[in-house]
Every structure is written in C-alpha cells, then in structure tokens.
C-alpha cells in the first residue's frame, strides 16, 4: 500500500482509482515537463507484457494554434514477442500518427523529451515537441518524429532509465486541451517500468 501511495504522489494523481500493476519498479519522468492541463488515465500493458515500440501523434507546423505532440501510443508484447495490444492514456484530436517505431531487439528501457518552454502571451505554446526512447538500456535510440518541422527549438531533457531487470510497461500523459486562444497538446509524460 505504501508503494502505491508513493507512486500516486510521484505522478500527481488525485485518486487511487487506477489500473495498477503490482510489479512496477520505477517511473520515468520528464525533467522538463510543463504543469499545464490534466493528467489522463494510467494505462498498462497486460500482465506479463512490456513495450517493444511506440508511436506519437503529431500536428505539423502551419496551423494558427499549433500543438506539436498530441498523443503517445505504447505497443506491447510478451517475452516471446507476441503482440498483446497497445496503451495510450489521453490522446488529442489534432495531428496524425507518425508510424510505429520498434526496438530491433528487446524492450523500451529509457526515454526523454524535447520540450518548448512557455513562450509568453504573444507567442504560440506547444510544450512537448518530440520524444526519444532507448531500447535495452544502452541500445538503439528511436525518435518519435523524424524530420521535425520548423518549430521554435525546444530543449532535450536527460534520459531516464528503468531499473535493471525491468522495462517500460505503461504510461500516463498530461494534456492541455482546447482553450480560447492557445492550447499546447501534450505537456508532460510518465513511463512506468515493470520487472521481468
């Protein structure tokens, strides 16, 4: 119970009504996330499965009010690499899915994001512009959006990694929806790691 309460405090969840996996070992958070909008639901891969790939929903530049990233999807498989579905948390309505990025071997074990800091009242806020994930702790790095359109460049945070012997098994995203004037899409992100 204490582990569950600590987990809820880390992610800023006001309620204990979440689909909780007992074998969560750590949470990967953004060092540069922005506290706008609301947290969506926590979603986990089914028991015994982990994320071997991901995909982002992205709105390219050109709109009057741009949002950049508006959703993240984790693709799940078991240890034998049989697909078990996907999880998403909250997903916005703007943009297009950018295509599945898959680890050639193993599972996702690290992540970081490129985030544009608040731009002030006269400029467009987009918050999370892109994410990168790492496979197998120090293996290949996969990028959510290739050839990122010409937004004002954000800042990449530091990679966070799962504890040894675990891999990404779920996520939660924070999303600022439609507002009068300026909405930002995905503003923060948490990945959960589960023990093998």
- Taking only the tens place, the pLDDT of each residue in 52-106 is 999 999 887 655 445 688 899 999 999 999 999 999 999 988 888 999 999 999 9
Tokens in use for 138? Answer: 């120090």
Question: Which has more pLDDT, 62 or 35?
Answer: 35
* pLDDT on residue 166: 96
- The answer to pTM > 0.85 is no
Q: Average per-residue pLDDT in the chain? A: 81
User: Are the beta carbons of 11 and 173 closer than 8 angstroms?
Assistant: no
Q: What is the pLDDT of residues 21-32, one digit of tens each?
A: 779 999 999 998
Residue 193: which of 44, 55, 56 has the closest Cα? 44
Distance CA 119, CA 134 (A): 29
* pLDDT on residue 17: 37
């Amino acid at each position: 119970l204490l582990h569950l309460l600590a987990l809820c405090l880390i992610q800023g969840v006001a309620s204990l009504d979440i689909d909780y996996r007992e074998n969560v070992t750590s949470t990967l958070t953004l060092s540069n996330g922005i506290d706008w909008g609301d947290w969506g639901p926590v979603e986990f891969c089914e028991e015994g499965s982990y994320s071997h790939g991901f995909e982002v929903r992205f709105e390219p530049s050109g709109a009057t009010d741009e949002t950049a990233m508006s959703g993240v999807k984790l693709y799940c498989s078991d240890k034998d690499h049989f697909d078990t579905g996907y999880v998403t948390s909250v997903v916005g309505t703007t943009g297009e899915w950018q295509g599945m990025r898959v680890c050639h071997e193993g599972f996702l074990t690290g992540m970081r994001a490129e985030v544009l800091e608040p731009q002030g009242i006269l400029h467009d806020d987009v918050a999370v512009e892109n994410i990168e994930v790492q496979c197998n702790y120090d293996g290949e790095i996969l990028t959510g959006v290739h050839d990122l359109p010409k937004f004002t460049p954000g800042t990449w945070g530091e990679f966070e990694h799962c504890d040894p012997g675990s891999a990404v098994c779920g996520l939660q995203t924070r999303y600022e929806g439609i507002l009068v004037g300026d909405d930002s899409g995905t503003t923060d992100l948490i990945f959960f790691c589960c023990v093998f």
